[in-house]
Structure 1
């Protein structure tokens, strides 16, 4: 069964067709740079820690990448409000310009504050302006197949996380850090032009919605419980992709292996965003999130913790974790959509991810502090966060539809 909200109205969803899948293609194009940069954090961390930021404490690096995620999500509430009122066009245009300018500025950055302002602040806010309408628009075109369509769009972030580290690894040592980042900016600009042309909704402009930003949705226990679960998931989900390259170098493996592990992890997220989403549309979105977060916890605490310098174990962890973490990233917004009507989704997802942004800021940032003291502590911290997220999704599922194990939610 699926959640029915008091505010839900009768609505017909195309559930496919040429125009609907063009919207998914546009969302995919937007998420390649917006989420691809988030998944490239490990490669950027590895390069800048030995070049631009080599004189800084190890514990300070993580705050750059946690802040990027923080701004991506914390700006979600106003972005969602603008989306509900004016649709996706203005947000996509502003986000596209912002993220290209951000990358160009990053390519000329040499100091900590320059990297923080260009990547974390400008890049994060611009990525929020892209990802909010990209994900929210799909809800207007799909209901029964929403998890699958969202998963297909989210593979863009995984592909960006594969291509961008490869560009940095093979080009930066030969021609410097700046030109690979400018090439990424050029690729992003081309994709974002396509996104701006394709992402549309059948929803008419509703300027009155601009006055409706409120925390009132938090009074809904279904939404509050779901937001708490997403908070814990987002606190943990990007820690491995951010820190596994530096962990690999720490245990004595080469920089090439470090970059390849990140590529393997991000490559595995691509099928991970599609296949579990297919199951989620049949077995339930919350049910699938419980399984994915629990498996991420088991893989982290059992496989990564025991891996040491074993290349085989690290490759297995990167591939299997990448697959299941991809599912967690693509299904979280679908869980939010089950707590409200489609016309409220932009605002509610913005509120949920604004709260989750604090989790991401603390999760990646504190992990950098822990890393300076203990690599094993980093792994345990990540695994415990995933266990807590799995428990929180069990509670969210129970609050939403009762505690029957057979419920398809």
Structure 2
């Protein structure tokens, strides 16, 4: 990493921190009469800005870019666009330039249920692939196919689903929100249905691999842009509820697929049932979804407008930002460990001598735990700090993998492990967006989000292939020992990276505290009280200044300094 890149990344992170502090303390000006808000209204505006910056979403960045020209139209007599608060820049939607805040309810709850159903039918259904994988491994469904060939199918669904998400977001700016979703539904139906007629391995790659992976991206990425327009104060609750769809879908489809494979003797009818169920659910959800304030897509007529939207989402200027690179590599390692866990648990259980039903139940319990774990992460992050919770959960994952998974030998032990690991294994999926929002200025959020999602996707393609290549059939006690160690190392690497990001965050917070030290600390009843207060302030200032000193010792002290970040 060059010094220049690190400097640019730290500078961008510093700008982001200063901007958020500035926005939180800035009172909103009325776009209609340009009068100063009252104290109560200013405090309320500051609260809304804080909520927005804590749960900044891709839709907010898209809306801010779309409103930029509109804001310029109303510049006369008001603040210029760059100086307006983030609330004005995102929610100025009315023709007269007024602010239209989300209603935090109403039809938004219907949309929340619909987004949950989309997650249920995409990533939730994809969690059941671990059951298919165990069946493929143990029954030789396709002649001449090895376990590596089947593992590559699992990698395709994740790699295309994660890597194509930025492209799906770009398509929403060209076609509107629902256009890519209907294409995704078509791909989903064709992928699952045609997989039932696959007789050769390359046909399985194209159907259950590529088509399903692309359909996941085209469905879930546009769907996630709906809720930010409906919710602001209750955004955390709505987003948390939508995340339960992944776990609930994993539970439902894992149990269904396992039961159908047992009754029918092959994978064809389970795939057909999934094709019907996922397609119908997605169609109903997409039809009912509605944007609160639809953003006009650029359409196909203007090539200049299309290139502009592409540049906004895929700008590579963020690739030189040190903190963005940290988040991207952390996300890749954490997702690697996640997919190893989700897809390997069922085949591992069968290899340990458990029945296919017991193996499927382990995957089901893991996904059921995600229904509780994923929404809880957002709440805990708001309360104790997003990076703090990410560090804690990644540490727990590392410990669970090395100290618990390696020592599990029977069904009861594995069942308890599945519940524990499922409660925190989705930390990367939940925390990646908020960590990106904390790392860059709002104008750089979209390209940073795209970069983070795209960087690790090629590696996810071979995730399960690596897992199977590390197995050792000669080790009868535990053929998956090396795979388990590799998964633990992935979580450990993710932990080291998120700790580096925490050091940056703590350092920037300390620098802000030192620079903003108050010259006056108020009026006290006696000189002794005032002197004591000054003494305490000086002590804290000295401690913070000392922590900012260079050297390995201070670096580690900042990394583990107790503060909310």
Question: TM-score surpassing 0.5?
Answer: yes
Give the whole-Å Cα distance in 1 for the aligned partners of 2:181 and 2:444: 19
Query: How do 1:182-331 residues align onto structure 2 when only pairs under 5 Å count?
Result: 182-196=272-286, 197-200=288-291, 202=293, 204-205=295-296, 207=298, 208=305, 209-212=308-311, 213-307=314-408, 309-331=409-431
Partner of 1:59: 148
CA contact (8 A) 2:380 2:389 kept: yes
Measured after TM superposition, the shift of residue 255 of structure 1 is 1.3
Secondary structure (helix, strand or coil) at the match of 2:470 reads helix
| CA offset digits 1:17-55 (Å, max 9, x no partner) | 123333322221111121023311210101222141474
Measured after TM superposition, the shift of residue 346 of structure 1 is 4.9
Query: How do 1:293-372 residues align onto structure 2 when only pairs under 5 Å count?
Result: 293-307=394-408, 309-340=409-440, 345-372=445-472
Secondary structure (helix, strand or coil) at the match of 1:268 reads helix
| CA offset digits 1:86-118 (Å, max 9, x no partner) | 542222111111112111111222322111110
270-279 vs 208-217, greater mean Cα deviation:
208-217
Which structure ranks higher in relative contact order (CA pairs < 8 Å, sequence separation ≥ 6)?
Answer: 1
Structure 2 counterpart of 1:21, from 97, 104, 109: 109
| CA offset digits 1:35-76 (Å, max 9, x no partner) | 023311210101222141474322332111012111111212
> Is 1:115 paired with 2:204?
yes
Secondary structure (helix, strand or coil) at the match of 1:205 reads coil
Larger radius of gyration: 2
386-395 vs 131-140, greater mean Cα deviation:
131-140
Give the whole-Å Cα distance in 2 for the aligned partners of 1:206 and 1:347: 18
Give the whole-Å Cα distance in 1 for the aligned partners of 2:398 and 2:103: 34
CA distance 1:166–1:278, change in 2 (3 Å)? same
CA contact (8 A) 1:58 1:372 kept: no
Structure 2 counterpart of 1:161, from 237, 250, 254: 250
CA contact (8 A) 2:104 2:232 kept: no
Structure 2 counterpart of 1:388, from 482, 490, 493: 493
Q: How large is the RMSD of aligned CA atoms in angstroms?
A: 2.7
CA contact (8 A) 1:32 1:160 kept: yes
Measured after TM superposition, the shift of residue 221 of structure 1 is 3.1
Partner of 1:89: 178
Partner of 2:132: 44
Measured after TM superposition, the shift of residue 334 of structure 1 is 3.0
- Taking structure 2 as the reference length, what is the TM-score of the superposition? 0.67
Partner of 1:75: 164
Secondary structure (helix, strand or coil) at the match of 1:324 reads coil
Give the whole-Å Cα distance in 2 for the aligned partners of 1:259 and 1:372: 22
Measured after TM superposition, the shift of residue 261 of structure 1 is 0.7
Measured after TM superposition, the shift of residue 180 of structure 1 is 2.0
CA contact (8 A) 1:235 1:362 kept: no
Give the whole-Å Cα distance in 2 for the aligned partners of 1:259 and 1:3: 45
Measured after TM superposition, the shift of residue 367 of structure 1 is 1.0
| CA offset digits 1:130-151 (Å, max 9, x no partner) | 1212234444445665554333
Pairs aligned (count) = 408
> Is 1:375 paired with 2:480?
yes
Structure 2 counterpart of 1:178, from 265, 268, 272: 268
- Taking structure 1 as the reference length, what is the TM-score of the superposition? 0.90
Measured after TM superposition, the shift of residue 220 of structure 1 is 3.2
Which structure 1 segments of 5+ residues have no match?
none
293-302 vs 83-92, greater mean Cα deviation:
83-92
| CA offset digits 1:348-385 (Å, max 9, x no partner) | 32321111212322332211211256411010000110
Give the whole-Å Cα distance in 2 for the aligned partners of 1:344 and 1:88: 22
366-375 vs 260-269, greater mean Cα deviation:
366-375
Partner of 1:9: 86
Give the whole-Å Cα distance in 2 for the aligned partners of 1:203 and 1:232: 36
Which structure 2 segments of 5+ residues have no match?
1-15, 21-81, 92-100, 299-304, 474-478, 508-557
